[in-house]
Structure 1
Amino acid sequence: MGSIHVAGLGKAYKQYPTRGARLAEWLLPFRGPRHKLKWVLQDISFDVAPGEAVGLIGINGAGKSTLLKLITGTTQPTTGGVTIHGRVAALLELGMGFHPDFTGRQNVLMAGQLFGLTVPEIQELMPQIEAFADIGDYIDQPVRVYSSGMQMRLAFSVATARRPDVLIVDEALSVGDAYFQHKSFERIRQFRREGTTLLLVSHDKQAVQTVCDRAILLDGGRLARQGPPEEIMDYYNALLAERDNARVRVEDSGGKAQTVSGTGEATVADIVLLDADGAVVEVVDVGVPVTLQVTVAARAAIPRMVLGYMIKDRLGNVMYGTNTHLKELPQEAVTAGETLVYRFAFPMNLGAGSYSVATAIVSTDTHLVNNYEWRDLALVFTVVNMRRPHFEGSAWLDPAISISRT
């Protein structure tokens, strides 16, 4: 089984004030350096244990791609080092290792050797690679005529033709069509079950939360936070809002880290789940009518207030979400000190399990414009199945069935 050990990793590039400064430094080294260092990564340390799956997230420019290049050895670090045990397969750039003038089949032979396979092994695996890539006759056409999705299909097929000890995947999978994405992630899950260590870079919240055991957040070239995927993805979303002058803090909510961000001009003062009789409940039967009651306190005058909520499963996958902007019920000219009580009534058509509610107080339909407050884990509740026939899944979609026999 493979593992990754990253210790004190840093990468800096030289910046020269003028074109001639670089030449002068090279010709006259005794006069000292004429450059400044631009650090893109600093003091990055973490471990990926054998068989563990870790998601790497961060905004564009956070240093994710540079970190992957350092880990795979395509770029040399300025400080620190990386130790990898096991055979590595890495998908860092779309079609990396492909020559545009060679056919897909010829590129498979070349790229496969970059992944440590011999020519006889590649030829033996060729039918499997062709079948998984599923690009038809294009396998014998020059790669320059391929779409980005076709390049991704072929590159992923080659990289995963043999189960690697360590699989490193950048966001390249996002260019594939929905069917191939499902097929690719199923292969990744299969590798995980067989013991492959995974490092995945993705902005896809669901992919990180369902595939990974842990997530690492990079921000400004530094390791900002690491922990459970749901917690880190919530913090990442809050950081996006922080770019709009909002504040981010982490609070404890029943032993779980609750991310709260926003200006604080309005806040959720209370949130409860009510049954049909108006009693507060924490455990709900499948399919029964409930009301989500949210009390909002305005601390400042707000020209336009929108309240939204999302119901998420225990992995952080969104089951349902809406807001009063989408429902055409925004509140105008809210005054400081005013209290608003929202009631959302719906049947609890969810499968048995643990769920949480995240709330957002904003001005439109997104927290990236005016984020007054975003609160994850605002409420946690449990759904149990006491009266319905057994069913699988996260949604109660009981069908009416008719059968005809001739």
Structure 2
Amino acid sequence: MTVLRVEGIGKAFRTYRSEWQRVLSWLGLSVVPREEKWILRDITFSLEAGEAVGIVGQNGAGKSTLLKMLCNTLAPSVGTIEVSGRIAALLELGMGFNPDLTGRANVMNTAGLMGFTHDQILGVMSQIEAFAEIGTYFDEPLRTYSSGMQVRLAFSVATAFRPEILIVDEALSVGDAYFQHKSFNRIKQFQKEGTTLLLVSHDRSAVISLCDRAILIEKGEIRKDGPPEDVLDLYNALIAEKEGGIVSQTKNKDGRIQTVSGTGEAVIADVVLLDSTGCITDAVSVGEPVILEVKAKIVRDIPELVAGYMIKDRLGQPIFGTNTFHLDRVLYNLKAGEELMFRFKFNANFGNGNYSVAVSLHQSEAHVAYNYEWQDLAYTFAVVNTDKQKFVGVAWVPPGLELVR
């Protein structure tokens, strides 16, 4: 069942030569504006009941404008939005709250604006208070709250009644780790009960763990709509895109999408994983000593070179990453035609499962500063437990045990 359908919407902010021209435009008459700036163009997608979709994009891409239109606080200039069911939204921090009212009074006001009756609100007031866990501050003016306490109250009100569609912006990132876990657990429970989630976040882990689909908005248009890992890899590449650089996505033999980006001034010639015997492998044992070999070729003279890698689990979640900047092995003044081999040695202290390796060549601490080449899915391998005690998780961190009675 489709609960949200967005067809060709766009938003333009217009400046007119006089207020009369603005009024005439409201009446549907054709008036040429003095200035017109399009924030979004031709946005089309739909959400199904119980689906979880992440919206990602750089600052200024138009994400907040899109959310305001979905929540009906801003009208689209063109296109249509069809909603089936109630939308609950947690957008800007403290939006709709009165700083002079207590938390309890703000709950009454906000839930009332959401369409609930006085008796319905009173019926869940104790649950809202308990979930927010702000103690006596619940009856104190909102101006005395920290940003984290405002998030607790806002989320508790927005989710007091299970909505058909829940929209969450970056606001949760302000909350403390405990409340973030608590909030995500409630979101997951709502999903099981049929709530559709629309999550706007720069947090890769949150999007991958909560969403089964992601939409990338770039310069006011949908750049990609697909599996979260593919979309986030492209987003990561676009962040580091520089003048003269390229960003491409191709399908590997296993059907997964590989993202490659960079200026091409230095390129990754080869990536292999060697097992404890020095042989190339795609399967290692838990804790086995391995070597990740990254061969780089310098295409044009460059002033600085940093090589790095990131190991990800099967969902694309980062497990571990580092680079030669952090290892104090930065190279300088390299000439075209040079070839180098980076050999990263470590123990495969990972749990059973499939993993991928992203590799990068760049300047400075991270590839966003100046990216020569970034390759996602540069190598894939499996980890199996052949000789260790049984454990669960993605990391092998064997404990010692002392029993005291």
| TM-score class normalised by the smaller sequence | over 0.9
CA contact (8 A) 1:273 1:290 kept: yes
| 1:128 equivalenced with 2:127 (yes/no) | yes
User: Between the two proteins, what is the percent identity of the paired residues?
Assistant: 53
Q: Supply the RMSD in Å over aligned alpha carbons.
A: 1.8
> Which residue in 2 is equivalent to 1:360?
360
> Which residue in 2 is equivalent to 1:327?
327
Q: What runs of 5+ residues in structure 1 fail to find an aligned partner?
A: none
**Which SS does the other structure have where 2:188 is aligned?**
helix
The Cα of 1:90 is off from its aligned counterpart by 0.9
The Cα of 1:182 is off from its aligned counterpart by 1.5
**Residue type matched to 1:396 in 2?**
W
Mapped to 2, the partners of 1:386 and 1:277 lie a distance apart of 16
CA contact (8 A) 1:42 1:221 kept: yes
Mapped to 1, the partners of 2:248 and 2:15 lie a distance apart of 35
What are the superposed Cα offsets for residues 14-45 of structure 1, whole Å, 9 maximum, x if unpaired?
124xxxx2246369999953423211111000
> Which residue in 2 is equivalent to 1:288?
288
CA contact (8 A) 1:25 1:31 kept: no
Q: Structure 1 393/100 Cα, relative in aligned 2: closer, same or farther at 3 Å?
A: same
What are the superposed Cα offsets for residues 251-288 of structure 1, whole Å, 9 maximum, x if unpaired?
22232111111000111111111011111110111111
Mapped to 2, the partners of 1:273 and 1:56 lie a distance apart of 34
CA contact (8 A) 2:265 2:372 kept: yes
**Which SS does the other structure have where 1:223 is aligned?**
strand
| 1:260 equivalenced with 2:260 (yes/no) | yes
Q: Structure 1 117/66 Cα, relative in aligned 2: closer, same or farther at 3 Å?
A: same
Mapped to 1, the partners of 2:384 and 2:23 lie a distance apart of 76
**Residue type matched to 1:277 in 2?**
T
> Which residue in 2 is equivalent to 1:6?
6
**Residue type matched to 2:303 in 1?**
P
Mapped to 2, the partners of 1:58 and 1:248 lie a distance apart of 15
Q: Structure 1 2/165 Cα, relative in aligned 2: closer, same or farther at 3 Å?
A: farther
The Cα of 1:351 is off from its aligned counterpart by 0.4
TM-score by length of 2: 0.95
**Which SS does the other structure have where 1:371 is aligned?**
strand
CA contact (8 A) 1:273 1:282 kept: yes
41-50 or 78-87, which moves further after superposition?
Answer: 78-87
Mapped to 2, the partners of 1:393 and 1:98 lie a distance apart of 41
- Of 9, 18, 25, which residue of structure 2 is paired with 1:22? 18
The Cα of 1:174 is off from its aligned counterpart by 1.3
> Which residue in 2 is equivalent to 1:51?
50
Report the number of matched residues.
Answer: 401
CA contact (8 A) 1:267 1:296 kept: yes
> Which residue in 1 is equivalent to 2:84?
85
308-317 or 109-118, which moves further after superposition?
Answer: 109-118
**Which SS does the other structure have where 1:242 is aligned?**
coil
**Residue type matched to 1:186 in 2?**
N
Detail structure 1 runs of 4+ shifted over 4 Å in the superposition: 26-32
**Residue type matched to 2:386 in 1?**
M
The Cα of 1:404 is off from its aligned counterpart by 2.2
Mapped to 1, the partners of 2:50 and 2:241 lie a distance apart of 34
TM-score by length of 1: 0.95
| 1:207 equivalenced with 2:206 (yes/no) | yes
CA contact (8 A) 1:309 1:359 kept: yes
